[in-house]
Structure 1
């Protein structure tokens, strides 16, 4: 019989992912720190990337669906002068571009190419993305030596700003990108290099914002994440219109009744129980609420001594499992 979670508290975690660890590695670390197996994420970052990773614990994983599609902001460094088979520095690089060709690229040339990659654009995702092809991840096929060419898709790059230009053996551009969900910054680097005929790839990537949530407010991975859980109601207030339920409305909604509520302009609406917790996400149709997703009240934390006794484990005098 599986052990119940030590910590059944629900919440959203905003983690500043360090370089060199996978997003799944962050999830694994968070499970241990928080004390529950039920942790999911709202979109991964590559191992080379740093920045904001949004996780959900226990019942708050139901909110992740609404976080995945939020717009994103990144800072990055794009290196012009060589392409990569993975569109980033972790791949196999091409021969460097001719020095004269690089020297001939003016700041104005870069600005024009960047402008052409701003707005609603058609983008071909990187061949090492997580997009599925015939049921398999594109990156798995590419690493197995298969040629992978993914279909182009429309994305929106609302801001593509060059912050700094450094010229040496290569041209390194420090940039800021605000974009829709599903935009590949690696692909922007590749396409910018192709537009300037010298090749390009990504060397640094940091996610600084997801929707209204900033990396400045995120927790370090090595901190006590159990104490960093943000209540689902707090997150919901940032994302949706809210309606405060009275005791009777809360009870009726919990029992599946379609309670009468004033219409709201947006969808969904966050229904808050009298104690302030997020009770559910609803839509209001013809003055009646319909539940889109319930958020049950969290159970009480598991007492370590009771949990160990239930599993038939010896218990120390301090009341914790004695595993030798």
Structure 2
């Protein structure tokens, strides 16, 4: 659906040049909800704006639905943009127009007749749950309602792609969840391909099937959401996950673990990752019975990623005659991610 190759964007000014994007390569499949996460200034919003050529790339290619975007004439680009909707962090609604008028605006620009406009606006407001707000003005709406108007407007011309630029970062947590649920519902009902730019890992967790991590203008890691959450390969990804999972041992545990390691002649302190159905099984109880070791849980966390359970435990194992090591080998053999924790 979207194929990006060697995409580079360089800004030039009197003070010098800045490379906002550096050799980006991405494949986004039809119907996917694809997340792009990075810190402020990493290049994620520039990448999004390059996809619909609001920013013209310095080099590289962007192909959408078989069409090479960078080679289009102004007239062709105008037509192609009708297939690409966009929603923004700060809504960008027309304050002088009602909710109905804001959603109708792109349809008027596209030259639809009044009957078609009326039908489309009515259907879209019903889709986003704002039928009762058709005659209200943006100043009379909450932040979540404004974003729903923005979503309805972005869908007005039946796009095949929806670009979401920090669409929930101006909203409170409860409203954020309702907007993310709406986007997921729209994806399932209409089959629209979505590209979601965010700096919030919780947004990725809630709705994205795949994710790319951007750092200093480059994609440093990409894969399925579950892969990135369960086995992050880069420090950037681990930093994003710290607030949600125990990807790094909490500071308050380190002194305790150091003392434990010093006193365990034949024991280990380990971090164990649980993924999928195995989270519901009594694995630690089985290990205790099978190998005769003691298991003391020091810390734990469990959550759900795209319907798949995910958890992390920090466990102290004690045993004699190599039983602790055999227990750890067993855990690895049955598919758990096991890491011995050594604090120097």
User: Above 0.5 in TM-score?
Assistant: no
Please report the TM-score for the alignment, with normalisation by the length of structure 1: 0.30
Please report the TM-score for the alignment, with normalisation by the length of structure 2: 0.28
